[in-house]
Amino acid sequence: MTTIIWTIVTLAALGLVLSVVLFFVAKKFKVEEDPRIDEVEKVMPGANCGGCGFAGCRAFADSAVKASSLDGIFCPVGGNDVMKKVAGILGYELKEKAPEVAVLRCNGTCSARPRVNDYDGAASCRVKAALYSGDTLCAFGCLGCGDCVAACQFGAISMDPETGLPVVDEAKCTACGACAKACPRKLIEIRPKGPRSMRVYVACSNRDKGPAAKKACANACIGCGICAKTCTHGAVTVENNIAYIDPTKCKLCRECEAMCPTGAIHGLNFPKPLDKAAVKARIAERAKKAKEAANEQ
């Protein structure tokens, strides 16, 4: 009985001593957290999607408070409205960012890109891409399993059963980039929405040479360079047999779209359909005047 009592007393004393030691250690090494972190976190959307480049909204708030400015720090889900609140809390100046949206750089529909084999495996683009080049002759196009759909937390992407391609709902898209990260072929790009949501882009990522790309997909960019030669703003470049339109330089004239022989260049949300004949006539007239001017010199 005496042994039991002494054991209890010893353990109690040891526990008391350790608790006192822990108390003083905690006081000595206590880290004071800036209360503004909680304030910033409260105005965040709470999606914890990682679209800002941080692990979550708490990590974003912590980084924003510790930063000397908001340059390079932006919440795509909350957008400029949330960032204005963050800037107000921290007393920083905010440079508003143009709204962005996810864009699919593939137009290999079922009709344009016929299947050459049948896949009977896990319904995952990542798994499919690791196993082989895909169901069609195009080794660069959409694999159609919908990894991007599963990655989107906002219901902004769905698969079109007719085309076999994902469709982005601009009204729901927050440009968080989760779909872009989920695509193993890097076919989804986060681009500026453009004025009144109008934009022009190349809906293809096939880097094969012209004949091979055309054989794989009727809608493929063949790297002919006509679009680059047509553009007077320097917005179009061709590299690795694929054209790319720089959204910061594009003036939305749609001349490249009119001249593209395969229809790989898409213009979205324009109020009027593209009149290719009128655009080509304008380009021809401009070329004629340039030639006449050169002859006069």
Estimate the share of the chain in helix, then strand, then coil, as percent rounded to the nearest 5: 40, 10, 50
Distance CA 149, CA 153 (A): 9
For residue 234, pLDDT beyond 70: yes
Confidence of residue 292 (pLDDT cuts 50, 70, 90): confident
| Residue tagged 């979550």 (tokens) | 56
For residue 6, pLDDT beyond 90: no
| 48 vs 140: which has the higher pLDDT | 140
Distant-in-sequence, close-in-space partners of 63: CB < 8 Å, separation ≥ 6? 54, 73
Helix or strand (DSSP H, E) at 267:
strand 265-268
Q: For residue 103, which of 228, 198, 14 has the smallest C-alpha distance?
A: 198
Mean pLDDT over all residues of the chain? 92
User: 202 near 245, Cβ under 8 Å?
Assistant: yes
The DSSP bridge pattern shows strands 236-239 and 242-245 to be antiparallel
Burial of 238: CB neighbours in 10 Å, binned 0-12, 13-18, 19+: middle
**What values do phi and psi take at 229, rounded to 5?**
-70, -30
| 143 vs 11: which has the higher pLDDT | 143
| Average pLDDT value for residue range 197-215 | 96
- Return the C-alpha torsion angle 32, 36, 39, 41, nearest 10: -80
What distances in angstroms separate CA 279 from CA 40, 254, 287, one per listed residue?
Answer: 50, 8, 12
pLDDT of residue 124: 95
pLDDT of residue 30: 63
For residue 44, pLDDT beyond 70: yes
Residue 88 C-alpha from the chain's centroid: 27
Distance CA 242, CA 207 (A): 6
pLDDT of residue 31: 63
For residue 265, pLDDT beyond 80: yes
Distance CA 246, CA 244 (A): 6
Query: What's the pTM?
Result: 0.82
